[in-house]
Amino acid sequence: MKRCFIEMAQTVGQGAGLRQMRALLAIVTPLENLDQICCPTLVIGGREDHRTTPAAHEALAREIPGSTLEIIDDAAHFTPLEQPNMVTALLQRWMTS
């Protein structure tokens, strides 16, 4: 997986990484206005994520009306890369429900 991250970083370039970090640092109230989301929303997180913890995903899902929360075992912060089959299955089930 480390190789995948390195390839992604090289593809998007240093400028994109810096813009992302600046954007993240500029967020003062991350849960503000989430109650205005009015489309179906699926929140997916990894149970071993120490950066955006399951509790943070739960808080996010609570703020989005009618959202669905899925916490995936054996995954951390990069859940789609760590558990691609599970993420795909959850998305397929959610999109067809």
Q: Are residues 75 and 94 in the same domain?
A: yes
Q: Are residues 72 and 43 in the same domain?
A: yes
Q: Are residues 21 and 40 in the same domain?
A: no
Q: Are residues 92 and 64 in the same domain?
A: yes
pTM over 0.95: no
Q: Are residues 75 and 38 in the same domain?
A: yes
Q: Are residues 20 and 38 in the same domain?
A: no
Copy the structure tokens of residue 40: 């179906």
Domain boundaries, position 70: 31-97
Is it the case that residue 41 has pLDDT exceeding 90?
Answer: yes
- Tens of pLDDT, residues 44-96: 999 999 999 999 999 999 999 999 999 999 999 999 999 999 999 999 999 99
Taking the CA atoms of 55, 92, 87 and 89 in sequence, report the sign of the dihedral they define.
positive
d(CA 14, CA 27): 21
Greatest C-alpha distance within the chain = 40
Residue 65 phi, psi (nearest 5) = -55, 130
